[in-house]
Amino acid sequence: MRGSPAVAPEYGTPDANAAAALGTRNPELGTRTLASPRARRLAAERAVNLAAVLGSGPEGAVLASDVANVAPSPPPPPILGEGPAPGAASLAPLVGERAGVRGEAPQASRLWRTMAERMAASWTSAPHFFLVREVIASALVEMHGRVGPAAERRGGVKPTYTDLLVKLVAAALRREPRMNASWDGAGIRQHAEVNVGIATAVEEGLLVPVIHAADTLTLGEVAARRRDLVDRAQSGRLRPEDVAGGTFTISNLGMYNVDAFHAIVNPPQAGILAVGRLADRVVAIDGQPAVRPTLVLTLSCDHRAIDGARAARFLDELATLVEEPWGLLA
């Protein structure tokens, strides 16, 4: 008895003809279009209307080769009110929110595309790890209330909690310099200057203006530079040197009532500090429950540039400075 061929023919047997007859219905004629299973799969992939394809198979059945010769149909534009398929994600919101009005996907700005590419590259190439520490911020709150007005009188800008954190982070980076490093592909690059970037949201995306030599500045100078950088970032007047040379980044979402979050490392830096909101929480004081203002600090690290022990020492040093900031914030 003759053996079966190694590869079954695409179309042509009576059983295959019968199966193909259960294919796509021609809506104009009220009949079903004969098509091989392979042709139907290809038509679905290429968005080709089988009823409009001239078949070259038995009884005019459509073969895969017939579908391959037809240009794919353009997808229909999205209609407002038509939700995504179950389990699918909507990639872009529709505009023109009126019933029955067709919308358009907004175009990403150049800044947003750059941000997306950099963050995707960081997340997929840098081996991230995260350290979390809740710190009592009573002294920080007191410092903000007592030193802030004096700094405002001298420099004209009232320091924010972000300004205080820039000053504290800069001091911690000076004490634990390995955190003030970056991975350049060939090895670890140690930076002599402490340049702290501040993640800043603008209409077109996210910018990270840099406060250079932050460890050498007074609190008032930090506040003045931060205000100037943020104002120019939001008005589109930043210069290339304003976003260059950062060695560490702070991302503070506390003003949005976020308790804690994990940030993506800003390449090629070794780490980024995510700061949650300042809130009253129950903590243990001398073995007794007490309510104190606290912050949750989350340190994201690139494991190529920093290991867990060094990162933990940096976070511990920073936590100590937050809880005992006097002497550094002059």
Nearest-angstrom CA–CA distance, 148 and 130: 32
56-63: long-range contacts (C-beta < 8 A, 24 or more apart)?
A: 57/11, 57/12, 58/11, 58/12, 58/17, 59/17, 59/34, 60/34, 61/11, 61/17, 61/20, 61/34, 61/35, 61/36, 62/33, 62/34, 62/35, 62/36, 63/10, 63/11, 63/35, 63/36, 63/38, 63/39
Is 231 known to be catalytic? no
Q: Are 180 and 172 in contact (CB under 8 A)?
A: no
* Marked catalytic residue, from 128, 228, 303, 316: 303
Q: Which residues pair with 129 in a beta bridge?
A: 301
* 3-class DSSP assignment, residue 297: strand
Residues in the chain: 330
Choosing from 184, 231, 259, 307, which is the catalytic residue? 307
* 303 labelled catalytic: yes
Contact in structure between 193 and 124 (CB atoms under 8 Å) = no
Peptide bond into 268 cis (omega under 30): yes
By annotation, the residues acting in catalysis are 303, 307
